[in-house]
Homo-oligomer: A and B are copies of this chain.
């Protein structure tokens, strides 16, 4: 674990705009982050390729974990036969838990990140969840992140030795436009990130995730190099 020991934060990296911004944010704090991506059988491998490219752009160590969980098939993000939600603009991020919810996903992701951090001696785990996510997904809310931080404090070697493993969600209060602005300031290579739920060669422009991204860039007044390429 020589190289990992040198890292001072573990950042969950999906390859999307939010987690790429979280990774660059951690670097901007001087933490020399390691990135962790989890392949849980999502609809496409496109976002994992983006995660690799984003980690490489920073020279960050990148861990990829393959974790096919048979019971996740109930999510439309995993089961390709299910139709992705296509909500009218005003309803995105509102209402009941969407079919793209993956049961316990952030619980599993954070657990893996805490395990890696505890093994590597890193004192921080960072995830890119934000105000838009937690309107729909229970495992993105600030109270959830705080509860997981307590688990990380109590359940690790670092915690047992009197230290504390922080679990940080730096985008927590930001909307998509705020994230785009922060990403631009941190010089995140936006053209490498991938937000679309589909796995085509170009973003579909129709899924919830594409719509949210487009609206964020428009509100921030920033051109999206991930679409206009």
* Cβ of A116 under 8 Å from chain B: yes
Which of B74, B97, B110 is close to A160, meaning CB atoms less than 8 Å apart?
B97
| A73 close to B1 (CB less than 8 A) | yes
Would you give the shortest CB distance from A127 to chain B, in whole angstroms? Answer: 12
Interface majority SS (helix, strand, loop, mixed), chain A = helix
**Nearest B residue to A148 by beta-carbon distance?**
B151
Contact partners of A119 in chain B: CB under 8 A: 71-72, 74, 103-104
Given A63-B71, A138-B159, output 6 extra A-B contacts at Cβ < 8 Å: A72-B119, A103-B116, A103-B118, A103-B119, A108-B115, A141-B154
CA A121 to CA B127, docked complex, whole Å: 27
Contact partners of A105 in chain B: CB under 8 A: 115
Which of B103, B155, B160 is close to A115, meaning CB atoms less than 8 Å apart?
B103
List residues of A (97-119) whose CB comes within 8 Å of B's CBs. 97, 101, 103-108, 110-112, 114-119
Contact partners of A73 in chain B: CB under 8 A: 1
List residues of A (143-173) whose CB comes within 8 Å of B's CBs. 143-144, 147-148, 150-152, 154-157, 159-160
Which of B72, B143, B154 is close to A138, meaning CB atoms less than 8 Å apart?
B154
* Cβ of A65 under 8 Å from chain B: yes
Contact partners of A154 in chain B: CB under 8 A: 138-139, 141, 143-144, 147
CA A104 to CA B156, docked complex, whole Å: 6
Given contacts A103-B118, A138-B154, A139-B156, whether A67 and B65 have CB atoms under 8 Å apart is: yes
CA A73 to CA B159, docked complex, whole Å: 20
Q: Which range holds the interface residue count of chain A?
A: 35 or more
Contact partners of A101 in chain B: CB under 8 A: 157
* Cβ of A70 under 8 Å from chain B: yes
Contact partners of A160 in chain B: CB under 8 A: 97, 138
CA A160 to CA B134, docked complex, whole Å: 11
* Cβ of A4 under 8 Å from chain B: yes
Most buried by B among A63, A65, A104, A114: A104
Would you give the shortest CB distance from A3 to chain B, in whole angstroms? Answer: 11
Contact partners of A156 in chain B: CB under 8 A: 103-104, 107, 138-139
